[in-house]
Amino acid sequence: MLPRFWRKIRYRYDLIGTRCNTCGRNYYPPRNFCPVCRRRSSIEEVQLSGYGTVLSYSIVHDTPVGLKMEKPYVVALIQLDEGPIITSQLACEPEEVHDGMRVKAVFRKYGEDGEDGIIYYGTKFIPAEEA
């Protein structure tokens, strides 16, 4: 888990995506190559607002070994306001969640590596206060 986690740490902590200036599409997870424009891609990083809407979610009971302590937890498909859909955890009680719920990104712990005790952090989402 370790090397590939650290390589993407900027994008996980800050919700930095990418934009293709050729077609105007935003990507998160970030892509260095636009699947629509391919060789004509013109990619730059873009800071996403961190606000989005829950499209679908599941309360997970059968978890990977490393996430046993967290169960049950909520995984959701969230459509960010800039367009991309991402998979993330919701840092709230399962009963609070509903489809169409407005959420915002926060920085949270994801788990730890049992053997060397390294703690992983990343983005989760919490219910957003509507203005």
Partner 1 sequence: MRKVAVIGVGQSRFGELWDRSFRDIMLEAGVEALEDAGLEGKEIDALFVGNMSAGRYIAQEHVATLIADYAGLAELNIPSVRVEAADASGGLAVRMAHLAVASGMHDIVIAAGVEKVTDAGELSMEIMSSSADMEWEGFVGATLSAIYAMMTKLHMKEFGTTEEDLAMVSVKNHRNAVNNPKAQFKSEISVDAVLNSPYVAEPLKLLDCAPISDGAACVVLASEEVAKQYTDTPVYIKSSAQASDYLALHSRKDLTTMQSVVTASRQAYKQAGVEARDIDVAELHDSFTIAEIMAYEDLGFIEKGKGAELIREGIVEMGGEIPVNPSGGLKACGHAVGATGVRQVAELVLQLRGGAGKRQVECETALALNIGGTGGTAVVTILGR
Q: C-beta of 125: minimal distance to partner 1 in Å? A: 10
Site string for partner 1, 39-68 (x = CB under 8 A): ----------------xxxxxxxxxxx-x-
Contact partner, 121, from partner 1, Zn ion, none, Cβ < 5-8 Å per class: none
| Phi, psi (deg, nearest 5) at residue 70 | -90, -10
Q: Could you list the residues that contact partner 1 (CB under 8 A)?
A: 1, 4-5, 8, 29, 35, 55-65, 67, 70, 73, 75-77, 84-89, 99, 110-111, 120, 122, 124
